[in-house]
Structure formats: structure tokens, C-alpha cells
Amino acid sequence: MTTYAAPLEDMQFALDLAGLPEIAELPRYAEATPDLIAAVLDEAGKFGAGVLAPINAVGDQQGCRLEPDGTVRMPDGAVEAYAQFLEAGWNSLPFDPDYGGQGLPGVVGVAVAEIWHAANMAWSIGPLLTTGTIEALSVHGTDHQKEVYLPKLVSGEWTGTMNLTESQAGSDLAQLRCKAEPAPDLGEDRYRIHGQKVFISHGDHDLTENICHLVLARLPDAPPGVKGISLFLVPKRLVAADGSLGDANDVKAVSLEHKLGIHGSPTAVMAYGDDGGAVATLIGAPHQGLACMFTMMNNARLNVGLQGVGIAERAYQQAVAFACDRVQGVDVTDPATGRATIVHHPDVRRMLMDMRARTEAARLLTYYAAARMDLAKAQPDESVRAAAQARADVLTPVVKGWCTEVGFAVSDMGVQVHGGTGYIEETGAAQHLRDARVARIYEGTNGIQAIDLVSRKVLRDKGAAVRALVADMRATHDALTGAPADVAAMAPAFAAALDDLEATTTWVLDHASPLDAQGAATPYASLFGIAAGGWLMMRAALDARRRLDAGTGNPAQWQAKLGTARYFADAVMPFTRAHRAAALAGPDSLMALEEDWF
């Protein structure tokens, strides 16, 4: 079993840089005082380290079980941890006080959730999906639906799931076949659902007595394709108008997947309506299900990016602990001191610095995007809200794609730091790699994220949102050039990354055919992640330098931040040039082979 301690100092710093002080001044978040936030993070750190982290390896080893009676049993400790989680009020943190939430800014909820993912990624998928369900219901639900379902979801007494995928419809939701029929015999706005959904995370479990499944299905009069999809809420147990629980609904988990990782999260095949029809209620307008689901999905995408941050932090901490303990070889800068811990070796340092730099940049980027969502909701000035929403929109696929790549790369490097020991399961390093792997796949593969970025976030507004971002980045670059020498030294590397982002954006705008755009999507997204994460690392360096000069806080923290930002500039940023070259080469060599030559 490996230990974990929430990196509270860096989380607090990332919240500051994301603009939490500005958000906390908005009337809606008046209660989010610095003292309260600090206390919340501190307590969350204790809960993550003391309750969730200890059952992480257990969940991996035991996995989940589908009992013969159709019940899904969670691994040892999961149910008790969930009860404590609810008891402490963790589930309700960022939600609307009208429905029992604590009304803290979303970015604070994100910081706290980073701790859950780091401590126990598999277990935390449950609350992650509940968060998305609350978001979708809050935006698209009727008042009655909100009154019935939101209090239970906000408290965490019930959990939520997302049911999109069918075996023939993964990335291609147009192929959905799940059917919904009006059932006026059951009451107003009642439907019966028939069909099967696959890869349903936390599709069934014994954490709560009810589960709210959000299900995409087609109404009888639906047009074909994605314009004929509607969103339904299908509770595991029927819910009366007063919110009380009724009979079991006609929905069940029929099998659980045997996966590479996240064994502690049940991934189910869900059967709807095998016994006459699963009773459902419509969320939003008929045939508008995809738009409703995107509300949930955009929330989930940010939170999946956050899983990348969490698992990276966990893997980093474990690698550091190993490297500071394992004695092997001599310190090449001072061989006379005899055998040294491997943290002294330059090549091990490279791995640790790379893990640290990527993890911190991914944290900054995720918190920054989450803070934009808070501003988009709560800022009184409409133009500020719109700008914040546009920024959040363009960054959502970058957070999901790049931060999950970081999560995997860092977990993978964590295995490498351990040498042979890393390949042994008992060490725990390999579990992080296995767990982290899924985040690049689910909630839309990273290829889908890249295509979303290029087609919906760059081409659709003709580059306006990206240009606004680049303008902010240019301002940071100007600040770097005027900063003290240690910070100014990073300016050339950042300038090059910024040039790459601009040049490749221009190329994408000039090559808007689906073939060109999709061919360039993945290199463009990779480049974007480095440039955006790097931008925030540069802002972090400027801020660290200021705090150091002002003598505030812990000087070692600011020195370390400066060193880590410098590593990012030295060794991570140069990769934007390579991704730019790959994008600008165009699709010819991608498509050079006939299908039967493969």
C-alpha cells in the first residue's frame, strides 16, 4: 500500500492563480473566505489520505462482483467510505444551496475532487458521475424533476450514471438504437425504455439505495441520426412524486467488464426493459438529448482531465518516496560520499522533474478552466460571463485530452523510476498506470477531444476564442521579458511555443476540410496542451518570483516552482515545434496507404 498526502500548498497556489480570490468576491460565493477554503482543503486531505487511499489497492485486488441475484457488490471498505463521505458532507460541496448544496465555487469542488481521484481513482468515479448528473438536471430538468431528484443527488444519497454507449454506438452516437415509448398509462411525462447500454461506469453498486441513470434513447417519431436522440432519467428504484422510493424499476446490470484497471469501479452492461419496460422521465425537450447530455459530458470531461491530475500527483509522490529511499550507485557530483539514494542521479531527476512539471501544469490548467466555468455562471457582467464561457469551451477538450495524457505519462514514468520493482504489482506503481489508462479513452477518446477542439472550438468561431487566449498568452510573454533574469530566461522557449500555437491555428483555419482538420487534430491538441499548460507555468513562475521578492509564504515553494517552470520551458515546451510540423505536413502521408495494404 502506498501513502498519499494532498499537495495542499500547490493546490492553494493553483486556486489563487486560477482566480479564486476574484471568484470569492462575487456575491454568490461570499462565504468562500480564504480561511474556509484552507480548512476545507485541509479536511479533504485528511479524508483522502485516511479513508480513501487505504482502500485503493484493496479495490484493485478484489474488484467488484455481480451476485447471482443481480446485485453488484463493491470491494471491501467502499461502502463504509461512501457513508463517511456523505456524513462529512463532501458530496454537496459545490452545489446549489437551494437543493442542499454548500454553494462553494466549482473550482473548489474541483480541487477537493483532485484529492479523491489521487487517493482512489476507481472509487471516485461514483461521485464524478453524480456531479455530472446534477449538472445536467440543474440545467435541463423541470422544477418538479429538480425538486424530486436534486436533493438526493446533491447529498449523495443517490448516485448518477451516464448511459450513452451501445455496442454498435461508441463515438458514433448516431447509431443509437435504445428505444423510448410514451407510457401515458403510467402518468404524465412517463416513458418506457428498451435496450442495452455498455461500458456503464458505476452502472450498479451497493453504495446507495437508488441510482439515477441518464439514458439516451429514441422516441418513436425521432428523426434518424443524432437529431433524434432524447435524454431520459431512469431510476433504479421508482420514485413517487413526494420523492419516496417505490418498486424496483426494470433495469439491471447483466455483466461486469474485466478491465485493465479501475477494478474498484464496476463497469456494467445495463439491460433496460427486459421485463416490460424501464420507467423513465424525459429530461429536456424531445430529440434534444444530445445537447442535454453534452452539459453532463462537458462537466465529466473536465473531471476526467482532473483524474489525470490526481493520478499523476499520486504516481509522482510514490516515485519521489522511492527515489529518496532507494540506495543505488553514487552521486556523480560527489562520488566520495559513497552510495547515494537514486534521487541524486541526473537521469532519475529528469524523470521526477518531468513528472512534477507536467503534473503541476495540468493542475494549473484544470483549475483555470474550472474557474472560468464559475465566472461564466456567477459573474454579473454578461460580457465577462461570455468570455469566460468561451475560454472554458475551448479548454475543455484540452483539459480532458492533455491532462489525461499527462496522467498516463506520469504514471508510466513512475513505474520506470521504480525499476524492476515497478513491474511488481504489490508496489502499487503499476496500478496507477493501469488506472490512468482509461481516462484517455472514456468520456470521448482523446482523438474525439482533438477533433472537438479543431472543429467545434477553432473552426466554428473562426478562431476567435483561440485568438483571445493567444492575446492573453502574449501579455504573459511580455511580462516574462521584463521580469528578473531567472524568469526572463524562459521567455524564448515560451515565445516559440506560442508561435507554434498561432501558426498551427492559422493553418487549421486555412485548411478547414474535414480531412485536413481531422488529420491535424491530434498534433494540434498535443501542441495546444503544452502551450496552454506552459502558459500557466510561466504565469506561475512570475507569481512565484513576486512572492519570493515580497518575502511572503514559503521560499522553498517559490524556488521549487521557478525550477519546475524552468524545466518545463527547457524540456517540455520544445515539443510544440514537432507537433506543429506533424500537423502542417497535412494528411497526405496519413492517407498514403490503400486499406488492403495495411
Binders of a second copy among 419-438, rule CB under 8 A? 419-420, 422-426, 430, 433-434, 437-438
Q: Is 349 in the site for a second copy (CB under 8 A)?
A: yes
Q: Which amino acid would we find at residue 404? A: T
Shorter beta-carbon distance to a second copy: residue 384 or 424: 424
Shorter beta-carbon distance to a second copy: residue 288 or 557: 557
Interatomic CA distance for residues 403 and 134, integer angstroms: 24
Of the residues 166, 313, 360, 443, which is catalytic? Answer: 443
Interatomic CA distance for residues 94 and 105, integer angstroms: 6
Q: Is 33 in the site for a second copy (CB under 8 A)?
A: no
Q: Binding marks (x or -) toward a second copy, 266..305, rule CB under 8 A?
A: ----------------------------------------
Interatomic CA distance for residues 475 and 4, integer angstroms: 37
Give 210's strand partners.
158
Please identify which residue in 12, 379, 522, 526 interacts with a second copy, judged by CB under 8 A: 522
Q: Which stretch binds a second copy (CB under 8 A): 71-79, 162-170, 179-187, 394-402?
A: 162-170
Interatomic CA distance for residues 204 and 217, integer angstroms: 19
How many residues comprise the chain? 598
Shorter beta-carbon distance to a second copy: residue 47 or 442: 442
Q: Is 101 in the site for a second copy (CB under 8 A)?
A: no
Q: Which stretch binds a second copy (CB under 8 A): 48-56, 240-248, 465-473, 567-575?
A: 567-575
Interatomic CA distance for residues 472 and 546, integer angstroms: 19
Q: Is 343 in the site for a second copy (CB under 8 A)?
A: yes
Q: Is 147 a catalytic residue?
A: no
Tell me, by CB under 8 A, how many residues bind a second copy.
97
Among residues 305, 283, 310, which one has the least CA distance to residue 294? 283
Please identify which residue in 33, 71, 168, 481 interacts with a second copy, judged by CB under 8 A: 168
Please identify which residue in 117, 252, 345, 358 interacts with a second copy, judged by CB under 8 A: 345
Interatomic CA distance for residues 435 and 315, integer angstroms: 11
Shorter beta-carbon distance to a second copy: residue 38 or 327: 327
Among residues 221, 181, 212, 216, which one has the least CA distance to residue 196? 216
CA 71 to chain centre: 29
Shorter beta-carbon distance to a second copy: residue 101 or 534: 534
Q: Is 553 in the site for a second copy (CB under 8 A)?
A: no
Q: Is 9 in the site for a second copy (CB under 8 A)?
A: no
Site for a second copy in 431-490 (CB under 8 A): 433-434, 437-438, 440-442, 445-447, 450-451
Shorter beta-carbon distance to a second copy: residue 60 or 374: 60
- Please report which helix (H) or strand (E) contains residue 196, including its range: strand 191-201
Distance set, CA 64 to CA 95, 117, 215, 306 (Å): 29, 18, 23, 24
Q: Do 486 and 563 touch, CB atoms closer than 8 A? A: no
The b/e string for 344-379 (b: 16+ C-beta within 10 A; e otherwise) is bbeebeebbbbbbbbbbbbbbbbbbbbbbbbbbbbb
Q: Is 510 in the site for a second copy (CB under 8 A)?
A: no
Closest approach of Cβ 558 to a second copy, in Å?
A: 10
How does strand 158-163 pair with strand 210-217? parallel
Q: Map residue 207 onto helix, strand or coil.
A: coil
Q: Pull the grid cell for residue 31.
A: 462565504
Q: Is 3 in the site for a second copy (CB under 8 A)?
A: no
Please identify which residue in 25, 38, 515, 552 interacts with a second copy, judged by CB under 8 A: 515
Shorter beta-carbon distance to a second copy: residue 471 or 593: 593
Active site residues: 443
